[in-house]
Chains A and B, each alone.
Chain A
Amino acid sequence: MNDPAISCDGIDKQFDDTIAVRGMTFELQRGELLSLLGPSGCGKTTALRLIAGFETPDTGRIHVGGQEVAGPDINLPPERRRVGMVFQDYALFPHMSLRGNVAYSLKNGENRRVDDLLDLVGLSGLGSRMPHELSGGEQQRGALARSLAAEPQVILLDEPFSNLDAALRAHVRAEVREILRAANATAIFVTHDIEEALSLTDRVAVMFDGAIEQIATPRDLYRRPATRRIAEWLGNANFLPAESSDGTVECELGRLQSEKELTGPVDLMVRPDWLTITTAATGNGVVADRIFYGHDQLIRVTFDTGTSVQVRVLSDDEFLPGQSVTVGCQGPNVVFPRREPNGDASPR
């Protein structure tokens, strides 16, 4: 079977007069991990509930493991979709032991399988505990084991780490990733945490106002955002006014190669960590101020034109306000059409 584990094709969903999901289209291969990243209220939870079968799409088709589960003529109930779900609050059955929870979808006598699953999520020995006797992280791994037991084609995880202590989160995240990899599971994470999406999954789908704006690997998303709003949302960004022609851009940093075929006035997006800074008697800018963070420091440099950029460098060298410096760039030189004239994107 070479069918994708899951595919969504032009899914729309509207509640009363608010559009929750618009034209959602994507495919996910077996074993792949995808994040659905977006600010709260962007429709990502609705997207998950549509796939799981708790909501019915207005238009579009959903295939799971090659089988159509939702479409114009079909709408399978959740229990027949082979889609697993791990809820934000884990939703372990409070009246059953951990074992009972994991065994819920299994036939009697599959004790070995329960043992294997508990082993996989690192909870062997805790099977007789009740959910309230488990820590948050343990409850979550329990919920994951319960989902895996049903051998779903795809597992959906709704804000799975939001209920965990910040100190614990990174650790549990790594654990969950390992478990899913070990089980060769296909999974979709819904999250509003950028760091989580970038560090956890193979691909990230960024969602705004019910529509997916870009699907890419975390690295591409960070380095080559498709839109200005993704660029701004994913991390600090400087926007420099520039002129683009014939695959090059002309700006305060000089003439640079550009990847996009745009001609005319543009904004060049450079992240502070792509910029380099060196002391020079007659540089192209002057240090305006600096913020020291320990591992690195953020330096604001003002050019002759009055435009300023933020530069992130390691804390080895000291730069003093008023010092003349030269700023260079080593980034992928992403350009967007010029945003005029309020210019709130480029710090002046």
Chain B
Amino acid sequence: MAVSNRAFEAPGPPQSSAPTARRVPLLLASLASLVGAAVLLPLVYLLVRAIQGGSAPWESFLRMRTVETLLATALLALAVTAATILISLPLAWLFARTDLPRRRTWLILAMLPLAIPSYVAGFAVIAGLGPQGFVHQALETIFGLGGIPGLTGFPGALFTLTVISYPYVLITTTVALTRIDPATEEAARSLGAGPWRTFFTVTVPQLRPALTAGGLLVALYTLSDFGAVSLMRFNSFTQVIYTQYQASFDRSLAALLGLLLVLLTVGILFLERRTRGKARFYRSSAGTPQRARLIRLERWKWPALIYCGAVIVVALLIPIGTLIYWSVRGVGSGGVNPGIWAAAGNSALASGLAGIAAVAAALPIAAFVTRYRRRFSSVLEGIAYSGYALPGVVLALSLVFFAANYAPIVYQSLFLLVFAYVVRFLPQAFGSIRASFLQVSPRLEESARAVGRGRFSALKTVTIPLIRPGILAGGALVFLTAMKELPATLLLGPTGFQTLATQIWSATDEGFFAAAGPAALLLVALASLPMILLFPRMQETR
């Protein structure tokens, strides 16, 4: 019986599998704490640096119209979030509730833009939709429409970021729509509410957690984005921080700005917590879950297909088409830039090391928080996820300052770059490994102990083999995401260390589209690999 009534549940063994009374192994506790401290270092140093600066940076801060930038950035995040919800809600509804032909294929296609890094999308928008782009040329030759200005600034950033981040909202909303108890909607209908009133008073409110979760990812993505806003020449906060760092010797100001951005991020996370409300969204049924009957589109089938098609064309086909177009032109006029292979090698090296290191760092924390429920565990868990709140620019900046002052030996070394990747992408490795730890009952390990294995032997022969899929998935996810990371690579990479990301960025920034094309295509191909990891989740949506 899944009814939420404790009073009627039979008394049984405690639900939690985490023993609280057991002594924590010292080695595990120290390892976990060590990782936690290392992850916190950039944030703490940022704080120290901003305080040390005294009042001087505050004066330049106020001169700089920083507040204006902050508002513009927040406005961009808000606009992108709203736009992604507007695009995703109808798509999710079509995929989850109607008899739209080939729903699964559409869903997979609609998810793919997630694999396009923001600076590649920026490149595609400039090179594809800009004055030199093929869309413009086509419009000019076919319709005689010349001189349409390219997308830049706020609209350009809004468009680019919307197109690549709407899948975050799409996936959470589609899954939620298939999970809503269809009986609640039918109840509303039999209480006298028409289809529209039912949708807005019963369906949408139940989607709120999904919309908020997806929208939160979009907002954080927008706040921390550096590539797209820079290419679009939009003065967002990350862009200002980067310029400030490049241009001046007073680095306390950059630190102060970075700290403000972190605060803004944390503020949004906090706001999301507060608005969650007290509603719980789950079915209380013990019976077989009812699936909503699919709505027959009939005469709306073609408009629906056209809408899906339009989203795919704009978000996927035009960007990928642009990459292919410029790659072909690049290869045609003098072959592939030989630097691309060295860059690809560098990308693989740095990201590969990051994947391994992130897994190694995530393991002790995950083992600790899933096996020993202490107050300290939730603190550690929060720290492990803190990378989400630390934009790449800010993280890199803090590490640059720290290394330059206290550890010149690692300054501009591969070590520091990999360390930055680990801090930034630890949440992904941790999330994946934590989930697989939770699926392994501690009783299994105890059984191994009971037949005479030592603690490490039990870990090696029982737990590790069982969580191997989670470890591999986590490592792969970090590898493939680190490969796309731009600002940390720009700021922390050893001198002359070109990766695919930096190569695409500098080539696009200088207008050498043909040089950026092949690298961008390669990167998108690599970055779409983690989508495979998402597919099992999508199965749930039929």
Contact = CB atoms under 8 A, between A and B. Distances in A.
Report the 3 A-B pairs with minimum CB-CB distance, sorted nearest first.
A89-B285, A91-B183, A136-B3
Nearest to A90: B284
B71 interface: no
Interface string B199-236: 00110011010000000000000000000000000000
Interface string A130-156: 111111100100010011011010000
A274 interface: no
A20 interface: no
A168 interface: yes
25 contacts: A52-B190, A53-B190, A54-B186, A79-B190, A83-B190, A85-B187, A88-B287, A91-B181, A91-B186, A92-B184, A93-B188, A93-B206, A94-B279, A94-B281, A95-B206, A96-B205, A96-B279, A130-B279, A132-B4, A132-B280, A136-B3, A150-B192, A162-B286, A162-B287, A163-B286
B274 interface: no
Contact of A139 (B3, B202, B206, B278): B3
Interface residues of B, number: 36
Interface of B: 1, 3-5, 7-8, 181, 183-184, 186-195, 201-202, 205-206, 208, 277-287, 293
A130 B278 contact: yes
A186 to B, nearest CB: 15
A147 B287 contact: no
B286 to A, nearest CB: 5
B3 A135 contact: yes
Instruction: Among B3, B7, B202, B278, find the residue whose CB has the most chain A CB atoms closer than 10 A.
Output: B3
B184 A93 contact: yes
Contacts of A159: 287
Contacts of B3: 135-136, 139, 163-164
Interface of B is mostly: loop
B190 A88 contact: no
Interface string A81-124: 10111011111111110000000110000000000000000000
A160 to B, nearest CB: 12
Given A53-B189, A84-B191, 18 more contacts: A52-B190, A77-B189, A78-B189, A87-B183, A87-B186, A88-B183, A89-B287, A93-B188, A94-B206, A95-B205, A95-B206, A95-B208, A104-B191, A130-B278, A131-B280, A132-B4, A147-B191, A162-B286
What band does the interface of chain A fall in when counting residues whose beta carbon is under 8 Å from B? 35 or more
A35 to B, nearest CB: 19
A105 B192 contact: yes
B5 A79 contact: no
A80 B192 CA distance: 6
Interface in A55-90: 77-81, 83-85, 87-90
Looking at chain A's contact residues, the main secondary structure is loop
A165 interface: yes
B191 A132 contact: no
A135 B7 contact: yes
Contact of B284 (A52, A77, A163): A163
A94 B280 contact: yes
A289 B248 CA distance: 103
Contacts of A165: 1, 8
Contacts of A96: 205, 279
Contacts of B205: 93, 95-96
Contacts of A88: 183, 285, 287
Contact of A94 (B5, B192, B282): B282
A87 B286 CA distance: 12
Nearest to B6: A135
Nearest to B9: A165
Contacts of B280: 94, 130-132
B8 A95 contact: no
B188 A104 contact: yes
A163 B189 contact: no
A163 B293 CA distance: 23
Contacts of B188: 93, 104
Contacts of A163: 1, 3, 284-287
B57 to A, nearest CB: 46
A312 to B, nearest CB: 33
Interface string A242-272: 0000000000000000000000000000000
A150 B186 contact: no
Interface in A147-191: 147, 149-150, 152, 159, 162-165, 168
Contacts of B281: 94-95
A165 B282 CA distance: 20
A276 to B, nearest CB: 42
From B186, B205, B208, residue with most partner A Cβ within 10 Å: B186
A315 B442 CA distance: 53
A9 to B, nearest CB: 21
Nearest to B284: A89
A316 B245 CA distance: 99
A231 to B, nearest CB: 29
A93 B197 CA distance: 14
B243 to A, nearest CB: 45
Pick from A89, A131, A139, A147 the residue with the most CB of B within 10 Å.
A89
B187 A87 contact: yes
Nearest to A135: B5
A90 B2 CA distance: 13
A139 B281 CA distance: 15
A77 B181 contact: no
A132 B206 contact: no
B282 A104 contact: no
Contacts of B278: 130
A280 to B, nearest CB: 50
A157 B405 CA distance: 73
Contacts of B191: 79, 84, 104-105, 146-147, 149-150
Contacts of B286: 89, 162-163
A104 B285 contact: no
A326 to B, nearest CB: 48
A165 B9 CA distance: 9
A104 B1 contact: no
A198 B132 CA distance: 80
Nearest to A84: B190
A5 to B, nearest CB: 16
Nearest to B198: A79
Contacts of A77: 189, 194-195
A136 B286 CA distance: 11
Interface centre among B5, B186, B187 (most CB of A within 10 A): B187
A85 B293 CA distance: 17
